[in-house]
Structure 1
Amino acid sequence: MRRAQDRPRGHAGDFETVEYLLAGRNGADPGSGGWYLDEHLLHAPIAQQQRNRTAHRARPISAALAGRPPGGHPVRILLIASGGAADLRTVDPGLLETGDVVVPNDGRGRPRPRAGHAAGATPAA
């Protein structure tokens, strides 16, 4: 959890820290004090809250993709301040069809096109 203390991107909750929490893998040296601290924090309620939040944000994306009628119009989705787009990565890629557009955004008005590239979806630039 050194990232949360060092704040390499300017704040404790940057997307790389969130990705670390979501993965739930302890990267500290086994048996060290840091390992035990990370292990505790990775299983703490705040880490579970991040996993719950990601699942919650994925539900409307899946619903929008699954709820279209057969042959319906392509779906356009904008993910604001999406970081690494963890919520999008939990969506079944089989729900995406050619013509769908997913725009993950970094929260500063800039798209993150690589994160939205899945199945037949077009990552917007």
Structure 2
Amino acid sequence: MNIPSIQTDPVITKLLDKVPADMRGSFSDAQLLALKVALGGRAWGAHAVDARWTLKWWRWQYYFVFLAGRNKRVLSLRERKLQRLSMAIVLAVFLLVSTAVGLLVLYLVKSALGIDLIPGFSLGVWGWFQSEFLR
């Protein structure tokens, strides 16, 4: 059974490309394996969205990076709490919008059927809907 050398690993190859040429051969396989573990074995540039641009303003240059993709990391406690909070906010907004749209549809159906729950009172939505969409 032939075990491939750590030197052929894509992560290690990219890492060694950034090291000066005279130092590349000085790492043992154990050291390279420890470096790979320390770096988390991540692949550079493996994002679904990878947008990078530079803005030059007078004497300075600023760079901007927008990365997006599937998160494969283990989240910390703080990140998990933030994730739960953001998911709760998204769910609350979704339920609020869904409820508002549902009530609007029920109101329009009620008005189309001619049902008058409070005699002499109207929100004006049915009149607007008729003038805009049912000409």
TM-score greater than 0.5 by the shorter chain: no
How high is the TM-score relative to the length of structure 1? 0.27
How high is the TM-score relative to the length of structure 2? 0.26
- Which structure is higher in strand share? 2
- Which structure is higher in helix share? 2
